[in-house]
Amino acid sequence: MPPADAPADRHAFLPGGRPPLEVVRTEGCYLVTPDGRRILDAAGGAIVSNVGHGRREVADAVGRALGEVDYVVPPFLTDSRRRLVERLQDRWLPPGITRCVFTSGGSESVDSAIRVARQHFVSRGEPDRWKVIGRDLSYHGVTLATLAVAGHEKRRKGMDPLLTEHPKAPACYPLRCSLCSGTCDLGCAEAIRTEIERAGPETVAAVIVEPVGGSTAGALTPPDGYLPRVAEICREYGVLLIADEVMSGFGRTGARFAVDHWQVVPDILVGGKGLSGGYAPMGGVFCREEVVAPIAEAGDEVMFFTYAAHPASCAAAHAVLDIMEREQLVERAAEMGAVLRERLARLEGHPHVAEVRGRGLLQAVEIVRDKQTLEPFPASDRTTARIVGRGIGEGVFFYPGGSGRAQDVIVMGPPLTITPDQIDQIATALEKAIDATLA
Ligand SMILES: Cc1ncc(COP(=O)(O)O)c(C=O)c1O
């Protein structure tokens, strides 16, 4: 029995808010609450559950792996890591990306990618290269290094004294772009060149981008020439390109990785979320041989996290990727993404929907007060939070997003197993939630 004076929100970390939504079971595309309500998970959790919930075979694979090896120091090899690495190298990673190291999630992976980029240059005898050029609307994680290279106003709030200053280029944000006069000539990509020049090319180690954006500004999707141009600029200056695909990777956008849409192979590719589909904490850093070779030649090591490459996580990821392949879920993400876009198209005429955007099953709507001027609602209205709350009332969980000039965005990233009927339910609930909130 809880003590009589226990606060109603005793399970929340911060006092005073509403008690968290309780979920007692997850199955398929649904979250089940204690009173038996089934909520359609249009966000796949935090855009994680690529193969959907309740896959018994993943739980069984994790159980088997733990029965064989519960833990070893991460540099040791286990059967579950061997099988995962081989699957990634043989069937998932872009050509030329051969080296894999694992972590417990997205932030740890991006943090490690930054360290690898830095170690690469230190080992090569270029210790002045340390800056990582990020973009003004981006998210790369919640460690201090990943917050520092990202441009997520809300999540950086109050942290500035703790964050090393890295240059920021404007994100590629076609809806509000003022970088090109008239037709697009990729001013946003050229802005990265400007930042490299301004910082001093001999001080820049890497450029980090989310090839398709996540929740910060809502599935920002660049024009076709953007990523190839950014890769070209990086090559020109001898700067490493880090593609953060923690959210967009492992099939989410209808390709194995979002970079594949544009046949760009980054120097370092970062994954998380969909890699293990939420069944175990997992992230990965995947590198070209040329990136890590100097580190090895210098006799240095890349320090691990204690739970890196944990057998449970490797087994979960291996089983999840097996399902992805067997059920052709990458292809399905592209197909169902087209259905989702078609069903959301009617929202494009909505007076408060500025844009529907995204790729595959990573899509978002941006909400504004004035569609002509793109003026947002006052921040104090908490428009996004209220729409998401109404969505739950309508039986659908949407992912709240938005930061900076993209203040209010509702993001969708359902399991890649979603059906057309469930997509109908998502589109209907979203329209109702927007209308009820803004009425
Ligand atoms: C692009 C991107 N990078 C990094 C992260 C951080 O990942 P995690 O929350 O697993 O640490 C996220 C999380 O949403 C993300 O979307």
CA of 139 to the centre of ligand 1 (A): 7
Find the DSSP H helices in 242-328.
289-297, 311-326
CA of 152 to the centre of ligand 1 (A): 12
- Consecutive 10-residue runs of the chain (439 residues): their mean pLDDT? 73 84 97 97 98 98 98 97 98 98 98 98 98 97 97 93 96 91 90 98 98 97 97 98 98 98 98 98 98 97 96 98 98 98 97 98 98 96 98 98 96 98 98 97
CATH 3.90.1150.10 is the classification of domain 25-54+328-438: yes
Please state, in angstroms and rounded to a whole number, the distance separating the CA atoms of residues 78 and 84: 10
CATH 3.40.640.10 is the classification of domain 56-326: yes
Q: Judge if the beta carbon of residue 362 lies within 6 A of ligand 1.
A: no
Nearest CA to 190 out of 207, 166, 205 is that of 207
Contact yes or no for 172/226 (Cβ under 8 A):
yes
Question: What was the pLDDT predicted at 19?
Answer: 80
Q: Judge if the beta carbon of residue 107 lies within 6 A of ligand 1.
A: yes
Question: What was the pLDDT predicted at 1?
Answer: 62
Give the residue whose CA is nearest to atom 7 of ligand 1.
106
Q: Judge if the beta carbon of residue 415 lies within 6 A of ligand 1.
A: no
Domain boundaries, the chain: 25-54+328-438, 56-326
Pairing status of strand 38-41 against strand 30-32: antiparallel
Ligand 1 atom with the smallest distance to the CA of 110 is: 4
How many other β-carbons are positioned within 10 Å of the β-carbon of residue 157? 9
HSE value, Cβ hemisphere, 13 Å, CA-based, for 311:
18
Ligand 1 atom with the smallest distance to the CA of 244 is: 1
Q: Judge if the beta carbon of residue 246 lies within 6 A of ligand 1.
A: yes
Same-fold call for 25-54+328-438 versus 56-326: no
**Amino acid in position 325:** E
Please state, in angstroms and rounded to a whole number, the distance separating the CA atoms of residues 375 and 407: 10
CA of 107 to the centre of ligand 1 (A): 6
Question: What was the pLDDT predicted at 16?
Answer: 82
Question: What was the pLDDT predicted at 2?
Answer: 65
Question: What was the pLDDT predicted at 4?
Answer: 72
Q: Judge if the beta carbon of residue 141 lies within 6 A of ligand 1.
A: yes
Q: Would you call 99 helix, strand, or coil by DSSP?
A: strand
Q: Judge if the beta carbon of residue 110 lies within 6 A of ligand 1.
A: yes
CA of 385 to the centre of ligand 1 (A): 20
Q: Which of 246, 270, 275, 276 to mutate to test the pocket of ligand 1 (most atoms within 8 A of CB)?
A: 246
